[in-house]
Amino acid sequence: MTTRPSSPARPIAVAMPPISLVTGGSRGLGRDMARALARQGHDLLITYRTGKKEAEAVVAEITALGRRATALQLDVGAHATFPAFAEALREQLSAWQRDRIDHLVNNAGMGVHAAFADTTREQFDQLVDVHLKGPFFLTQTLLPLLADGGRIVNISSGLARFSVPGYAAYAAMKGAMEVLTRYQAKELGPRGIAVNIVAPGAIATDFGGGAVRDDADLNAFLAAQTALGRVGQAEDIGGVVASLLAPANRWINAQRIEASGGMFL
């Protein structure tokens, strides 16, 4: 009786963890986005502008969760530096034996509070550079490093829907990002890339000088205008971004998702 030789064992395919890049991931909303994604099984690349120590602390937190993480310096308002940043990103991916990121979260930003009549050209140009030209051209630069079937999450603001005096220029940039999100979803769709935008409401962080967090009267006023009766915390936003990047939500595309607790309804 002859026996048939056994077939060689097939190697077991091991799924690679997704890699997400979160700009402005050293503090505030970006820090919580990075944490939430790490808890969801992502490896993280975060950027910081000047807060290297804060970024390193976030990297340590993510590493403690069992995920890989690295912090890279980036000023999203300095558009000429984007090619060099892309090369640094490429080198880091190579060190992880990867050649693409799976997700890009355009979170980095800054605030300017000034009445429409008092807004200077310098303030306006700074907001354009950071909140519109920055994510526009950074995303464009990173397209070769973004995997087909990947996802992009942009960040808007509830101020693009409701109006609070003092934020005309800032809100205008966020409104432009909401339009850009739909165009990105349309034009990147052939690559299977989904693009959505999250619009936080009032959040108690250090953004804009920490006014929502530190000004008790402002905090109380905004809480009274919110259906859930309080202002938001950073933890209220990180989970929203992580959810959009979860496999089960791959069919959500070209959507504005407001996470405000129901402000100004």
Active site residues: 170
Both structure tokens of 264: 């100004």
Altogether, the residues listed in the chain come to a count of 265
Neighbours of 229 (CB within 10 A): 10
- Spatial neighbors of 246 by CB under 8 A, at least 6 apart, are 40
In the block, residue with structure tokens 């929203």: 240
Distance between alpha carbon 28 and the CA centroid of its chain, in Å? 11
The answer to whether 58 and 46 are in contact (CB under 8 A) is yes
- Reading across the β-sheet that carries 69-73, which strands appear in turn? 69-73, 43-48, 19-22, 101-106, 146-155, 194-200, 256-259
Neighbours of 230 (CB within 10 A): 15
Q: Side-chain half-sphere of 201: how many Cα atoms within 13 Å?
A: 22
Q: Would you state the torsion angle of the CA atoms of residues 241, 248, 150, 65, taken in this order, to the nearest 10 degrees?
A: 60
Cα 74 to Cα 32, 93, 199, distances in angstroms: 19, 16, 23
DSSP state of 130: I
